[in-house]
Amino acid sequence: MKKQEALHKVVDRITGGQDEQNRDRIPGFSEVEVDPVANRITLHWKGELPGAVQGVLQDLPKDVSVQVVTAKYSKAELHAAREKLLSNGKPIPIAAKRPSHINSIGPSLDGSGLDLGYETDDAQAPEMRAVMPPLPVEELTPQVEAIASTIAGVEVHAHHQAMVEDLTRGADSEPWYGGAGVRTPGGTICSTGFGVYSPSANYKNFVTTAWHCGAGSYRTWYSDNYMGYANSGDGNAADDTIGIVPHDGQNSGGYVYGGPWNDPSDNDAAQVSGYGGNNEGEYVCHSAANSGVHCGLRILQVDRQIQGPNGVWRKFADQVVQTDKNDIASINGDSGGPVIALDGTKVQARGTITSLDKQTNCNGRVSSDAGSRTPECYNGMWYVPISQTLADMGWVLRTSNP
C-alpha cells in the first residue's frame, strides 16, 4: 500500500486536494487513474497543462511516472452534459422503442463522453411484456446511445445493466465504533460506518449507517441492546447516509472494527486517521458487519450518479470490484458499512456502502444474519464518498475516542 499512498499524494498535489466529485472546478481536468502495481498515474486532460501541474510532474517521487493523455472533454463539460439528462436531480426517461430508464451515469475515464447504464422499464413491470414485444438489448443499446447523445450534446457510451441491489459485529457498546452490526427499525441487519459529531448541533454525537436502513430505533445485532435513535432530519437521502444518536448522551468513537464478521472481540479495531478522496485504480477495503473485512477492492469508477431500487437517486457514488478470485466484495446486509484505505496501522475513511452488483456464488460463505435468510454474495459494490457526506451534513469525522 506504500506505493498507492505515494501515488495518492501526487494526485492530491495535481488536483489541489479536491475530492473526486469536485474536480470539475479544475479547468481542463478530465480524470486521473492510478496503477499501484506499475507505480504509474495516467492523467486525462483537455488542453494545455497549467504551470502548477507541470511543476508537480517535474518533481515526482523516485520511480513514479505520469502519462498525460489528451481528453476530448473536461470533467466540467461532462458534468454539464450529464445535467441535460437529469430533471429536478433525477434522470429523464429514454423514449426508445423499448422504454428504458437510466440507472447510472458519469464521465468516461478517458474523457471521451459519458458512460450510461440503463434498464428497460419492463424489467421491473413484467406485465408490460404482454402488450409490447421485447426488443433485444443488442438492438436497444444503440437507440439509447443515440437518444442520450442527442440530448446531452456529447458522445454517450451506453450499456444495459440490472438495477443495483440495496444492502441491508454484533454487540458493540460506548464509544460506538464503525463496522458494528445493528438491528434496524425493520428488524434486518445493517452496519455502522463511522463515528462523527456535529459542531452546529452542540457537538451532538452520531454513528453513521445507510439512509435506506431506516429512521427509528436501533439495537445491537447479537446482544439486542438498545443503541440509539435515528431521525430522518439527521441524514441525507441522496448520500444514503443517516446518523444514529447514541442513547443517554453516549459517545461515538474514532475506530472501525476489523477481522471476520464473527470476531467476538474488539482487538482488531483500527483507529481512523482521517478521510481521503478516491481515484480510479486505487485499492480499498471495507469492514461491514454482515460479512466482515474484504480487501482487494479496486476502484473501477468514480464520480457516478446511480439509482437504488428504493427509487432514491444517489448523486455521488464510486464503484469497486473484487480482484481476489478467492474472495467476494460483499454480502447483502452490509449496508452502511465503512469503506476504508489502509494507512499504516490506522485506516483512512473513504465512504459508506450503499448498494451491490455483480452477483456471484457464495461457495458456502455464511454471514451474521445467515440464520434468518440465505446470503447473497456480490463481486461489485457501490459506496458514497465520505467527503461528500461530511460536507453535506456539516459533520466532523471522529479520529479518536472522546
Q: Can you tell me the distance from the alpha carbon of 304 to that of 20, in angstroms, rounded to the nearest whole number?
A: 10
Return the domain boundaries, the chain: 2-71, 76-160, 165-402
**pLDDT at 62 > cutoff 60:** yes
**pLDDT at 134 > cutoff 70:** no
Q: How many CB atoms lie within 10 A of CB 46?
A: 17
| pLDDT tens sequence across 308-336 | 766 788 889 999 999 999 998 988 888 89
Query: Which residues on adjacent β-strands are paired with residue 304?
Result: 317
The domain defined by 2-71 folds into GMP Synthetase; Chain A, domain 3 (3.30.300)
Instruction: State the pairing for strand pair 156-160/114-120.
Output: parallel
| pLDDT tens sequence across 140-160 | 899 999 999 999 999 999 998
Residue 233: which H helix or E strand, with range?
strand 226-236
Q: Can you tell me the distance from the alpha carbon of 311 to that of 328, in angstroms, rounded to the nearest whole number?
A: 26
User: Is residue 218 very low, low, confident or very high in pLDDT (cuts 50, 70, 90)?
Assistant: very high
Cis status of the peptide bond prior to 260, with omega within 30 of 0: no
Calculate what percentage of the chain has a pLDDT beyond 70: 89
| pLDDT tens sequence across 22-60 | 999 999 999 999 999 999 999 999 999 999 999 999 999
Q: Can you tell me the distance from the alpha carbon of 178 to that of 168, in angstroms, rounded to the nearest whole number?
A: 16
Q: Looking at domain 76-160, which CATH architecture does it have?
A: 2-Layer Sandwich (3.30)
Does domain 165-402 sit in CATH 2.70.70.10? Answer: no
Calculate what percentage of the chain has a pLDDT beyond 90: 59
Amino acid in the structure at residue 60: L
Q: Nearest Cα to 184, choosing from 297, 333, 351?
A: 333
- Residue 113 is given by DSSP the state S
Residue with cell 495535481: 14
